[in-house]
Structure 1
């Protein structure tokens, strides 16, 4: 089955939780992933995908943005837990680029449990790091899908990691398990982000607002 035909959130969560760390590490070896960290991230992704019902195309586009970001910052070493922030921010951008009706950042904040003030900063930084270039042609998109398919086929052939100490992930309870249509909004004007310089809060697992780097800018 091709990746575009996969709609099951559990399968998609496994794909994202496997491929994203490999993109960031620059190597596609399943055994390099920490089992506990993989499980925690997979359950987070599954929760987000079930809540938003985001399309598979949008998910694959978000992976493309992460890949482009990694190419732009090859020497950055993300901290443990940063994959949550990285994935959420890339989904925000993919949803706003690809879909006619998009979720408000407030909704993404509720789903991900990332404070909206931090999410706004991460979105601006991500865009700035990509030089505000989030367009992808149809040819580029299908080439990317093919690349992801090759990666997934390779990773799927490696025995799945197991751990006797799995994490019981408890997401923060919210009023909305499923997002209402009325909570969507159109993409903000790009002028809103025009003078933003990247401070790389998406590469950290801690609050961008409390970091010394941010406070000193």
Structure 2
């Protein structure tokens, strides 16, 4: 039986959204650990950080904004996209955010510190530092995510 640490709904929704948006694979391109598929990775990270759902929704908003900025972009790793957006969302919404060194451990050591730093800088640059997210944006985006990508919705 799969262990999503109680995060199956949000992990499934996020992985469906990321795969849909960026046509990235379910598996990480180089890490072939048994529980390294995107939904399990998301669930494990969320279990470790224990964020309010608004941080996760903000991360999805940033990914949507990235896709809007670069419509033809595709992703080789949904894991990389998710983690990068979550790192940034944590920093914009939480006063006491994790340091990038902590994300190495939080990401089950899938990414080294130098890569996490680079991913964060690149995404901020690609987004032209447009990182704003407000309450209404979070509410409406979360409703849309649940409607189209929720676990109780047919998908693919």
Q: Which runs of 5+ in 1 are unaligned?
A: 1-6, 26-32, 162-217
1:10 to 5, 8, 11: 8
2:113 to 108, 113, 116: 116
- When the two chains are superposed, the root-mean-square deviation of aligned CA atoms in Å is 2.4
**8 Å Cα contact 1:66/1:90 also seen in 2:** yes
2:95 to 85, 91, 100: 100
- Cross-structure match for 2:134: 137
Q: Which runs of 5+ in 2 are unaligned?
A: 29-34
Structure 1 residue ranges (4+ consecutive) displaced by more than 6 angstroms after TM superposition? none
2:27 to 20, 23, 37: 37
For residues 20 and 114 of structure 2, the distance between their equivalents in structure 1, rounded to whole angstroms, comes to 28
Q: Aligned pair in 2 of structure 1 residues 145, 11: CA closer, same or farther (>3 Å)?
A: closer
- Cross-structure match for 1:57: 54
Q: CA deviation at 1:57?
A: 0.7
- Cross-structure match for 1:74: 71
TM-score by length of 2: 0.81
- Cross-structure match for 1:156: 152
Larger radius of gyration: 1
Q: CA deviation at 1:8?
A: 3.4
- Across the two proteins, how many residue pairs are aligned to each other? 143
Aligned residue for 1:103, secondary structure, equals coil
